[in-house]
Amino acid sequence: MTSRMDIRNIAIIAHVDHGKTTLVDGMLKQSGIFRANQIVEERVMDSNDLEKERGITILSKNTSIRYEGVKINIVDTPGHSDFGGEVERVLKMVDGVLLLVDASEGPMPQTRFVLRKALELNLVPVVVINKIDRPDSRIDEVVDEILELFFELGASDEQLDFPVVYAIARQGIATLDPAVPGKDLQPLFETIIRHFPAPVGDADAPLQMLVNNTEYDSYIGRIAVGRIARGSISGGETVMVINREGSRKNYRIGRVYAFEGLERVEVPQASCGEIVVVSGIEDIMIGDTITDKDQPEALPSIVVDEPTLEMTFMVNDSPFAGQEGEHVTSRKLRARLYKEAEKNVSMRVQDTDSPDIFKVAGRGELHLSILIETMRREGFELQVSKPEVICRKDDKGQLLEPMELLLVDIPEDKMGSVMETLGNRRGEMVNMGPNGPGQLRLEFIVPARGLIGFRSQLLTETRGHAVMNHTFQGYEPFKGEIKRRYQGVLIAFESGEATQYGLLGAQGRGTLFVTPGTKVYEGMVVGEHARDQDIEVNVCKKKQLTNHRASTAEATVKLEEPRTMSLEECIEYLGDDELLEVTPKSLRIRKRLLDKSERARAKKNSNLA
């Protein structure tokens, strides 16, 4: 066994918005991979359209830099716990992690989540305190909080002896002493080289490589990304692939690539310790082992936490089906969902008794909504149901449900209403403390189903002056029923086009979701009722015209601004008897049963039951 002193494999982990991708930008620029006159986008690693729009990392991505003859392979990971599957599988490729923490906010729920995974794998940590230039930074307190977090998560003595680097990622500077301003990121580079271990392996032993990621390239087909644990791999050689079930099959490797900056560069051969991309194996899956054909030996497969939330995806059968989308059949919907499950290891797809309905399970609302948004941009039409948590039973048959650790930062005067809201959602407060002048930070343990729809309610209660973060905590006994929605809805009475006159009559009943000219159909939800029961309204009603004019001019009545909801807000809003129709151009909430008499009959039968 020898050490590859010319390589370091590291991952950058952090909570959302603490500056991971911005720090990678600075490291790439200062390593000299860009030309002097090259125009470089901000957050260059966030290459996905949704990542750029939302300002978050969704997919783990690889890059590399060189510093004083050492190649540093870097994996940029998502910060949101909904994409924890991405984090869990890529941590198998690295020997250490850069834990990035905001100098003001300190360790947050997702910091705890990703750090726990890293410590369980015995990875070496280096802590980077970012944004030390913030006026509200509290560097010493944050370092103490991080140390306390390490203790809580059961870090070893070696892991507790972590070095601390202080940085301003946006300016591309770092220092080992916050009192001494930095000039560049050299202190960070030197800490990486000095503190992170070099990969260890036997280059002469039979090949072993675990597949941590798969992609598709339009030129070379399906490709596998992973780290060579033992031996070496060359383009054109014959290898054996052992899948999760243990079945074995020989394949001929196409090409082998290594990461150089943001590019994949073809290499004739790569040996142990290197992170590589391999082509030529068409049906390769995440968790498979690429090994020597004469001395095959499988590596332990990737194990990720099970999904906690489930939704039903189905073919769009509304009256407007097929008008806006390109892919509308169950065959295409099924193929797309199973293709997603191949590369998204924390997602599960399951067939049902109906060929048009599929169950999809994921880590949270954001995890599933990103899939839905991606599919609608690809031209799919579909319908989805209200999210439901996935419960389990213990050995004694007791029902257990997933719980979340929730942190909310709110103004002090809103504490009462927020605590009441979370109390109604079966939340239990476990900690409370100040978070700056006039601000409080509250910690709750809440059932995962209690957080569905909570974000929009929290923003309403605090008039937008609140920040919430949460992460999966574990399973606890079922906490009882939770009422999610306290208002009924306004349902379109007939199909047609919404008119100004019809909407004026309906807006007195509640809050509208549609504008004049919007096409609606019977059973479509067009607004929220002011009371707790559903009601039918005729938003297509037209004013009867006569040849008589009133002696007094009619008072001008203006329509109120309709409530517009994002995809996540629509998913949160859904009731038990409702579906969300998703097309490339529209989002429509509708009743499962569009006909009024059918809904009345179903309600009567449920009451009798």
Q: Which residue positions form the known binding site?
A: 17-22, 130-133
C-alpha–C-alpha distance, residues 529 and 535, integer Å: 7
Using H for helix, E for strand and C for coil, what is the string for 108-162?
CHHHHHHHHHHHHCCCEEEEEEECCCCCCCCHHHHHHHHHHHHHHCCCCHHHHCC
The residues, any chain, with a CB within 8 Å of residue 422's CB and separated by 6 or more, are 406, 429, 444, 446, 450, 454
Beta bridge partners of 35: none
Q: How far is CA 241 from the centre of its chain?
A: 30
Q: How many helices (H) and strands (E) does the chain have?
A: 14, 37
Tell me the backbone φ, ψ of residue 396, rounded to 5 degrees: -90, 0
Q: Which of 417, 479, 409 is nearest to 449 (CA)?
A: 479
C-alpha–C-alpha distance, residues 220 and 52, integer Å: 27
The interaxial angle of helices 109-120 and 139-152, nearest 10 deg, is: 50
Q: Which of 265, 276, 283, 294 is nearest to 210 (CA)?
A: 276
Q: Which of 116, 570, 123 is nearest to 385 (CA)?
A: 570
C-alpha–C-alpha distance, residues 122 and 94, integer Å: 11
C-alpha–C-alpha distance, residues 593 and 599, integer Å: 6
| Virtual torsion, Cα 524, 525, 529, 532, nearest 10 deg | 90
* CB-CB neighbours of 144 under 10 Å: 12
Using H for helix, E for strand and C for coil, what is the string for 545-556?
CCCCCCCCCCCC
Which residues does the annotation place in the binding site for GTP? 17-22, 130-133
- List the alpha helices (DSSP H) in 488-554: 500-506
| DSSP designation for 217 | E
Please check whether residue 581 is in contact with residue 383, taking contact to mean a CB–CB distance below 8 angstroms.
Answer: yes
Please check whether residue 404 is in contact with residue 471, taking contact to mean a CB–CB distance below 8 angstroms.
Answer: yes
* CB-CB neighbours of 170 under 10 Å: 15
What single letter denotes the amino acid at residue 262? L
C-alpha–C-alpha distance, residues 123 and 63, integer Å: 19
Give the number of C-alpha atoms closer than 13 A to the C-alpha of residue 108, restricted to the C-beta side: 25
List b or e across 235-255, with b for residues whose CB sees 16 or more CB atoms inside 10 angstroms.
bebebbbbbeeeeeeebebbb
Enclosing H/E stretch for 340: helix 330-343
Pairing of strands 96-102, 7-14: parallel
Segment 257-260 long-range contacts (CB within 8 Å, at least 24 positions apart): 257/223, 258/64, 259/62, 259/63, 259/64, 259/73, 260/33, 260/64
Please check whether residue 325 is in contact with residue 434, taking contact to mean a CB–CB distance below 8 angstroms.
Answer: no
C-alpha–C-alpha distance, residues 321 and 310, integer Å: 24
